[in-house]
Structure 1
Amino acid sequence: MNQGATKVKEKKFIRILFSLVLLGSIFLLTSCTNVKQRANTTDTWPKIEKSKKVIVGLDDSFVPMGFRQKSGRLVGYDIDLAKAVFKLYGIRVDFQTIDWSMKETELRNGTIDLIWNGYTKNAAREKTVAFSRTYLKNQQILVTKKKAGITSAAKMKGQTLGLQSGSSGYDSFENSPQLLKQYVAHTVQYDSFNNAFMDLNDGRIQGLLIDSVYADYYIKHQADAASYRKLVIGFPHEDFAVGMRKDDVTLRKKINHGLQVLAKNGTLEKINQRWFGKSQLANLDLRK
């Protein structure tokens, strides 16, 4: 056989080998994708019940829903509520701190089982996330320092506003531009409201769009509480609920039933009183 023919055969062999490797890679990738898709389209309650553990994702700086004390201990309204619900089923709750702007991705990838941290139910999120029944009401409000002289949304004209990345407040700001966005000159996005409040206190931003439950708790615990102004500017009330994967039908039923039991036996009222000093059940039907 001459040298030219040998080279041709070698080239054919290399092409065949390359094709086989490529087909193998495609098959492996497809298999992994299918496994991942099956993992995300499975009712995980049997696994949770067997392991006696469920993983909740949260922003651990969101007072009073879930936050760390100076000692590092994780406490909060949602911490107490999640533990109380799963105690009914003999299941331990593990809380995992996540980047709040990536919460739906973490849920979809199976890193966490639930988003339970002052999570607002809305139409956009309902496209990809299943929600429990509403367990708490909230509203977006504008917080300013009184010395800034801002007494209405219109007074934010030309000013800088703080927002949390990936929050319902950010969505409200964008979706209802006539309420606040039309006046604001600049916005700054924060990973946590703690940093936003520091900038508000130092005058680097003049207003902060924030959940009323956070603002009320934070300001109440400040030495200079009287220096803040809270403004209701027309954003609709929001429903806090637990978020989970759409295929977790049993998990959703268990959480809804648990909330109903806690509402009936008085546990939910005790948690409300502990963190808010008042009832939050007036407009809810959790007892039904």
Structure 2
Amino acid sequence: MKKSMVRFTLLSVIILLATTVMLSGCTNVKKRANTTDTWSTIKKRNKVIVGLDDSFVPMGFREKNGKLVGYDIDLARAVFKKYGINVDFQTIDWSMKETELRNGTIDLIWNGYTKSPARARTVAFSNTYLKNEQILVTKKNEGIKQASNMNGKILGLQSGSSGYQSYMDTPKLLRQYVKSSVQYDTFNNAFLDLNAGRIQGLLIDSVYANYYIKHQVDASTYRKFPIGFPKEDFAVGMRKGDKTLQRKINNALHELYQDQTMKKISEKWFGVDNSVDDK
């Protein structure tokens, strides 16, 4: 056998073994995520790690001084205060959130996270604690008053968001009109392009849009309206194996609703009581 053929054969074997090991590792990680209950580990280290996009107002975002604040920040701390456990918030790439959860980098996804059948295949959810919907935001000078007015226009979306998934899954509501779309890591960057006219519409969570526009000097220059996407449920995402953690969070959410702590947090960030008790 020629040396070149020997080298080729050895290389093929090495690649095959490496691929097998990698696939085996992925399978083990997925199995562990689906079967391991980590509550005892969380209690022992006295810390739960929450993954979030730290630019998602008013759910979890950083003030100018760098302090992390928001509705979900307050609610997560209130939930785990009941169990004497500290909350460590970790900024993640939102498009990689389920991977971070499965790999154990974070324990929870808690940042305006919408329940969906697609996500339910890989994560477990807490009970719903807040309602949301996807709306279209434009600048009034664009003259866009309904979805069909986006004909030939450019739309902004957040990568990995429920809005992006809805946009792709139901093309007749909006996608059929749009000339092209741009995906953003954060809605902050999307708003910069909207304000500059580089995109003409932005599909976005109503909770984000309402808060952002309310705090703008030129709030009257924006137009926002729903275009028919189904209402959404915000919940906490966790690994399927974390049955105890799921039960603890659900119990705490119910208690916080009953004692009106959720009402106070909601009024603090939204000006009204939007809290939901799903138990």
Q: TM-score, normalised by structure 1?
A: 0.87
Indicate the residue corresponding to 2:77 in structure 1.
83
Residues 50 and 185 of structure 1, relative CA distance in 2, 3 Å threshold: same
Indicate the residue corresponding to 1:185 in structure 2.
179
Indicate the residue corresponding to 1:158 in structure 2.
152
Determine which of 99, 103, 108 is the counterpart of 2:102.
Answer: 108
Q: CA deviation at 1:36?
A: 3.8
CA contact (8 A) 2:257 2:277 kept: no
Residues 33 and 139 of structure 1, relative CA distance in 2, 3 Å threshold: closer
Indicate the residue corresponding to 2:163 in structure 1.
169
Note the 1:1-288 alignment, pairs <5 A: 36=29, 39-40=32-33, 41-281=35-275, 284-286=276-278, 288=279
Q: CA deviation at 1:247?
A: 0.6
Measure, in 2, the Cα distance between the counterparts of 1:204 and 1:131.
37
Amino acid in structure 1 at the alignment position of 2:149: K
Aligned-pair identity in percent equals: 67
Specify the SS of the correspondent of 1:121.
coil
Structure 2: gaps spanning 5 or more residues: 1-13
Residues 184 and 253 of structure 1, relative CA distance in 2, 3 Å threshold: same
Measure, in 2, the Cα distance between the counterparts of 1:31 and 1:169.
33
CA contact (8 A) 2:60 2:68 kept: yes
Question: Deviation per CA, 1:39-84, whole angstroms, max 9, x where unpaired?
Answer: 4231000000111100000000000000001101000000000000
Specify the SS of the correspondent of 2:133.
strand
Indicate the residue corresponding to 1:6 in structure 2.
none
Residues 32 and 229 of structure 1, relative CA distance in 2, 3 Å threshold: closer
Residues 216 and 28 of structure 1, relative CA distance in 2, 3 Å threshold: closer
Q: TM-score, normalised by structure 2?
A: 0.90
Residues 200 and 25 of structure 1, relative CA distance in 2, 3 Å threshold: closer
Q: CA deviation at 1:232?
A: 1.1
Measure, in 2, the Cα distance between the counterparts of 1:29 and 1:173.
34
| CA RMSD, Structure 1 to Structure 2 (Å) | 2.2
- Equivalences, count: 266
Question: Deviation per CA, 1:81-136, whole angstroms, max 9, x where unpaired?
Answer: 00000000000000000000000000010100000000000111101110000000
Q: Name the larger-Rg structure.
A: 1
Measure, in 2, the Cα distance between the counterparts of 1:84 and 1:233.
35
Measure, in 1, the Cα distance between the counterparts of 2:19 and 2:135.
51
Specify the SS of the correspondent of 1:43.
coil
CA contact (8 A) 2:29 2:102 kept: no
Q: CA deviation at 1:279?
A: 1.0
Measure, in 1, the Cα distance between the counterparts of 2:187 and 2:179.
20
CA contact (8 A) 2:253 2:277 kept: no
Question: Deviation per CA, 1:170-226, whole angstroms, max 9, x where unpaired?
Answer: 001011111100100010000000000000000000000000000000000000000
Measure, in 2, the Cα distance between the counterparts of 1:31 and 1:158.
47
Amino acid in structure 2 at the alignment position of 1:124: A
